[in-house]
Structure 1
Amino acid sequence: MQTKRFMSAAVAAALAWTSMGHAAWDGADDLPTNPLPCDGGGGSVAAKPYDGGTPSGAANMAGKKISLVDVPKLIGIGYFNATALGMQQAAEELGNVDVVTDGPTEANIDDQITFIDNFITQGVDGILFAANDPVAIAPVLKKALGQGIHVVGYDANSQPDAREWFVNQAEFNGIAKSMVDAMAAEIGDDGKFAIVTSTFTTPNQARWIAEMEAYLAKCHPGMEWLETVEAQEDNVLSFNQATTLINKYGDDLDGLFGMTSVATPASAEAVTQAGECGDIAVVGLATPNAMKPYVKTDCVRSVVLWNPVDLGYAAVYVTRAVVDGDLKPGGTSVDAGRLGTLQVINGSEILLGAPYVFDKSNIDGFDF
């Protein structure tokens, strides 16, 4: 077994869990975890002062037409196509916002930084982003703030002072609880699982895994975590990694977690091709359309996500509110059009809402 290099806040529990066979993974941070109650009750988040950044000398564009650019982790996949669609819907509703989505075709932080830097040079009123790396992206975002450009993140955060606000699709501990409870329902509290993620440093996935670790230790300590593997945001690599795990662990592998909208359907396809549907559970984050074939064949029972269209939609409404002066540091809520009023959490995050579980009974009602 490798030496475990990441330790969550639940040190004692994690140490005990590691001694039971939990393989190492390289976590991206050492932030404290906050596992929700095992019985399904809600948790609470302590109030924090605003910890976001501030643009220098931003022009007064209140009520005026603004130009925004959206630079996601990568373009050309269903998930970020959906967030881009939501942004266009919000822009059309508002009538005084233009949004253009562009970015790398692979989840490469250096390429993402280059795109953002080019947009700064061209001159825009605001930048929306989903970070490939929370630390590496910070300098170019701070450069944008320094030139009076508004900066709002969504999906995957940066360091807080490198942007003004972050639209969080769901709290990390809520995602963790939904994922782990769904897996436990399928493989039992003594089942063994592995995880397919993009990279160990991708901020949202690293946080979800950290919260999963803490929640597992607290509520499902008998489950055994075999391994975590990286697969970028690549469909072929995700399929190959899932297949490798299936072959490596054989009958010891009871379940696979997919941490990305690419890894989850690829893992389901690997299980399908291996003839292991019903024997290896797949639980993960993915868009409904990508998972419908596997849900309908009962190879996948549940998919955890939020509506990425709403996420992109909310990001534009938040940016408009910031530009108009309706959302300022210390604010506690923001109006988000058809989504109603969204709450501020953790100082400078806007919470979209609770995670949603798609299954055979409801997945046909969604088209994204």
Structure 2
Amino acid sequence: MRKTLFLTAALGLTMGVGTAAMADSPWTGGDNLPTSPLACDNTPGAAAAMPYDGGAVTGAPDLKGKPIKVVDVPKLIGIGYFNATSKGIADAAKELGNVDAKTDGPTQANIDQQVSFLDNYITSGVNGILFAANDPVAIAPVLKKALSKGIHVVGYDANSQPDAREWFVNQAQFNGIGKALVDDMAKEIGEDGAFAIVTSTFTTPNQARWIAEMAAYQAKCHPKMKWLETVEAQEDNNLSFNQATTLINKYDDELKGIFGMTSVATPASAEAVTQANMCGKIAVVGLATPNAMKPYVAKDCVKSVVLWNPVDLGYAAMYVLRAVVDGDLKPGAKSVKAGKLGELQIINGSEVLLGAPTTFTKENIGNFDF
């Protein structure tokens, strides 16, 4: 039996998801969107052509080529991931030369606080808003208010309802993330291994969609793997550590792997595995910044980390917003220019695709600094 670690914070809600249950009623993260699992043999998927489904701004002034004021309100500030997206936004604003951009927001991933920040900036006056939503539905009214006031709205990282913003910069297609994570886990724990997930909340839009696609892909391509449980940990380091520790103690030798679905949950899960002396016995696969994971990768406690470059994500979002303000990005467009990133593809009607995720390993993680 493993040594039980003491908990230091209250535990969040948990939801058990068994393989058989998923087959009968796939978990789709609290929404009714269909899943589209990629091919098991790595055949590339194709994004279906869809009409523009974003929102429309009302009475926006003609600011083509003119200085604009932009606020970025992410899920929360003060963590490495959104520090990196903020840097990308600042880099792009400096490069463009006609953008005054700042990042501001709550210090906790709280949708009510995020809405308050957005409302305050709508009142104080900005020309554009960038956001990463804590909740796709709850954030929609304040974003629609911004559009009605002539303020351009572009999302990144975590989407809102499509008609509450004009465009969304998607870091990678949800099914691509799902496939990369599940394939990496299968390599580490085998085709019949059991795993659990530590996520933020069940309704956080990007994590919910990734998990839905993971469920569909796992059922299709790795059907003998066993999904034990999914637990919430907000975007909180202590709670993420405690939830991972609880999973380790609860499932004992049955648990072979933990997925971290946030840049906080993944290093916290790796730390929980480390403190339980289970490195090499419990795999940790997840989404996180390379810098946060380097210590665990260096000592072989974590084999792979999946992510995109969040600096590039913020950079792309700023270029997309500038293009919208200038009238260079309109409904029906197939691509958009994004500075040093070149032409970015538009998919799903109103999403700008950053690109495929990267898997960081011991061989390449040292080449990245964010």
User: Which bracket does the TM-score occupy, shorter chain normalised?
Assistant: over 0.9
Look up the match of 2:4.
Answer: none
**Distance in 2 separating the partners of 1:161 and 1:51:** 6
CA distance in 2, matches of 1:19, 1:256: 18
Unaligned runs of 5+ in 2: 1-14
Corresponding residue for residue 84 of structure 1: 86
Task: Tell me which residue corresponds to 2:158.
Answer: 156
Structure 1 CA distance for aligned equivalents of residues 337 and 359 of structure 2: 25
- Is this contact kept in 2: 1:132–1:156, CA < 8 A? yes
Q: What TM-score, normalized to structure 2?
A: 0.94
Give 4+ residue runs of structure 1 displaced > 4 Å after superposition: 22-26
Aligned ranges for residues 1-368 of structure 1 at < 5 Å?
A: 17-18=20-21, 27-368=29-370
SS, match of residue 357 in structure 1: strand
Check whether the contact 1:26–1:200 (CA below 8 A) recurs between aligned residues: no
Give the SS at the match of 2:362.
coil
Q: Which has the larger displacement, 26-35 or 221-230?
A: 26-35
> 2:7 matched to which residue of 1?
none
Counterpart contact for 1:28–1:203, Cα < 8 Å:
no
**1:161-210 CA-partner distances (Å, limit 9, x unpaired):** 00000000000000000000000000011000000000000000000000
**Aligned pairs, number:** 357
Q: Within 1, Cα distance between the matches of 2:364 and 2:101?
A: 32
Structure 1, unaligned runs of 5 or more: 7-13
Greater displacement, 40-49 / 219-228: 40-49
Distance 2:278 2:103 in 1: 39
Sequence identity (%): 75
- Preserved contact between residue 72 and residue 101 of structure 2 (Cα < 8 Å): yes
For 1:182 and 1:5, locate their aligned partners in 2 and report how far apart those are by CA, in whole Å: 22
One-letter identity of the residue aligned with 2:233: A
CA offsets per residue over residues 128-174 of structure 1, 9 Å max, x none?
A: 00000000000000000000000000000000000000000000000
Question: What code does the residue aligned with 1:191 have?
Answer: G
Q: Distance in 2 between matches of 1:323 and 1:274?
A: 52
* CA deviation after TM superposition for structure 1 residue 265, in Å: 0.1
Q: What one-letter code is carried by the residue in structure 2 that aligns with 1:165?
A: W
Tell whether the 8 Å contact from 1:193 to 1:225 is kept in structure 2 after alignment.
yes
SS at match of 1:64: coil
What is the TM-score with the length of structure 1 in the denominator?
0.94
CA distance in 1, matches of 2:228, 2:369: 34
Q: Secondary structure at the match of 2:252?
A: helix
- CA distance in 1: counterparts of 2:190 and 2:238, whole angstroms: 30
- Residue by residue over 1:289-343, the C-alpha shift from the partner in whole angstroms, topping out at 9 and shown as x without a partner, is 0000000000000000000000000000000001111100111100000001000
Secondary structure class of the residue paired with 2:278: coil
Aligned-pair CA distance for 1:24: 9.2
Q: Which amino acid aligns with 1:281?
A: A
